[in-house]
Amino acid sequence: MTTTTPPDLVAGLAELLPPEQVLREIDDLEHYSHDDAEWADYVRPLAVVRARSTDDVSATVRWAAENGVRVVPRGAGTGLSGGANAVENCIVLSLELMDEVTEVNAAERYAVTQPGVINDALRAHVARYGLWYPPDPASSAISTIGGNVATNAGGICCVKYGVTRDYVLGLTVVLADGEVVELGRRTAKGVAGYDLTALMVGSEGTLGIVTSVTVKVLPLTGRDERAVIGYFPSLEAAGDAVAGISAAGIVPAALELIDHTCLVAVDEWQGLGLPDDVNALLLARIDERGAAGDELADRVAEIVTGSGGSQVERATDPAEIDRLFTARRLAYPALERRGPVLTEDVCVPRSAVPEMLRRIQATAAANDVVIANIAHAGDGNLHPLIIAPEGDDDAKGRAKLAFDRIVADCLDLGGTVTGEHGVGLLKLPGLRDELGDRVLRMHRSVKDALDPAGTLNPGKAF
């Protein structure tokens, strides 16, 4: 990590906002200088601005543009790709204080939220109106809606219900010169002009800074949940079941994979009573009502058994279902408690899941590293977790080699380098291989049109 010394020009920034919203102490600069991505480069920013309103964001960005200072937007800092990491000559613009749900319209089925609202908090808020916001990243208890929008986050139930972009109707966006624009709509449908709302979703703060989000919500009622739990002697067998479920045309509400290493780590931490004598657990959630749901659960159970599952269990008790899916959500932080974890986020065709899992295991052996595995298996989104002991530089080097090999294998199988975490810094080489020169030039043209001076989150996303 390199460091910078705040120049005198930052004093001008402090005149724009209340002093408590502009942080310049070393401890604060260090805290806000990076997200949760292991080994992604960062520097200390010149200052941190904690915005409370669109006006704060607009004034800050305008000041930065006028003074040749870069702006790195940040939510909760839970990202895993380095997308919120500070760069040279930048300020970090935190949106965490913008944490209000400002409107819920139950009749039209939309909600309006500021970017600092935590995902689970939005879901709980709209539930009071009998509504449901489906996107649910594993970090839903700690990640913000603004961060979800920036990376087009997915989650556990996105295999059936879609990702963040499918639910964003409109945005308030501060552009690179500080001007504020409204994008999108609040109607059930609309096709006026280019879909600039969809363009902003997943742009990782490189095209504009989102200060308000209008999201579509669904009725909360109408689902009758049951789970099918498959126990497998190998990761490949679990992958075969995933491919089989997809080939059968079954779309579960969730289909999640957890391997032995993750199960043990979670149980040591939380004592959930998870099995420790299997190599992989496959969790399928079915939410069709009545006989249709029972039939789908039966078909999933048959595929699990036919794919080599050593045991199949059913669960209909909501508390038991939540316990199992809580284990899936806690896998990453459980492993992180043991030391640094380099997190992958590749996505392959569902038919390629068994082969990708086989290659991940081969990569672990070839590079002498431990790779744990969790996955949103239902849509082919795999999260290999590469573990290297703290302070072991040789292991760190091998982990990085394994990271690159996994990306290359993913592309070889027709996949993409990121399913939901974003490109940030860690996936830049893989993205270039995936997109090619012509498409990268298209990205650059869009960036140059909206941010010609390169003020917003430079060097990220492409």
Between the two ends of the chain, the Cα-to-Cα distance in Å is: 22
Fold that domain 222-337 belongs to in CATH: Alpha-Beta Plaits (3.30.70)
In angstroms, the CA 105 to CA 47 distance is 38
| pLDDT of res. 5 | 43
SS3 348: coil
| pLDDT of res. 436 | 97
Structure token pair of residue 169: 């109707």
The one-letter amino acid code at 147 reads G
Domain spans, the chain: 10-94, 101-219, 222-337, 339-450
- On the question of a common fold for 101-219 and 222-337, the answer reads no
| pLDDT of res. 7 | 54
Q: Encode pLDDT of 14-36 as tens digits.
A: 889 999 999 999 999 999 999 99
Q: What is the mean pLDDT of residues 371-396?
A: 95
Q: What is the mean pLDDT of residues 338-345?
A: 93
Split at pLDDT 50, 70, 90, the class of 323 is confident
Q: What is the mean pLDDT of residues 145-173?
A: 97
Q: Tell me: pLDDT of 1 over 80.
A: no
In angstroms, the CA 81 to CA 93 distance is 18
User: How large a percentage of the chain has pLDDT more than 70?
Assistant: 98
Please state which of the four CATH numbers 3.20.20.60, 3.60.21.10, 3.30.43.10, 3.60.130.10 is assigned to the domain occupying 10-94.
3.30.43.10
Give me the chain's average pLDDT, please.
95
Nearest 10 degrees: CA dihedral of 393, 397, 399, 403?
Answer: 150
Residue of 316 and 124 predicted with greater confidence: 124
DSSP structure class, residue 34? -
SS3 101: strand
Split at pLDDT 50, 70, 90, the class of 10 is confident
| pLDDT of res. 3 | 40
Sheet holding 70-74, edge to edge: 22-23, 47-50, 90-94, 70-74
Structure token pair of residue 58: 């607009």
Residue given tokens 């038919």 in the structure block: 351
**Count of alpha carbons within 13 Å of 62, Cβ hemisphere only?**
12
| pLDDT of res. 111 | 98
Split at pLDDT 50, 70, 90, the class of 93 is very high
DSSP structure class, residue 162? -
Q: Encode pLDDT of 45-62 as tens digits.
A: 999 999 999 999 999 999
* In contact, 57 and 93? CB cutoff 8 Å: yes
Q: Which CATH architecture has domain 101-219?
A: 2-Layer Sandwich (3.30)
Q: Tell me: pLDDT of 179 over 60.
A: yes
Structure token pair of residue 147: 């961060």
Please state which of the four CATH numbers 2.130.10.30, 3.30.70.100, 3.30.70.2740, 3.40.50.300 is assigned to the domain occupying 339-450.
3.30.70.2740
Q: Encode pLDDT of 264-312 as tens digits.
A: 999 999 998 888 889 999 999 999 999 999 999 999 999 999 999 999 9
Say which residues have a Cβ less than 8 Å from residue 261's Cβ, sequence separation at least 6. 335, 370, 372, 373
Split at pLDDT 50, 70, 90, the class of 2 is very low
Q: Encode pLDDT of 209-258 as tens digits.
A: 999 999 999 999 877 889 999 999 999 999 999 999 999 999 999 999 99
pTM: 0.94
Structure token pair of residue 184: 């999108």
* In contact, 226 and 292? CB cutoff 8 Å: no
Residue of 435 and 223 predicted with greater confidence: 435
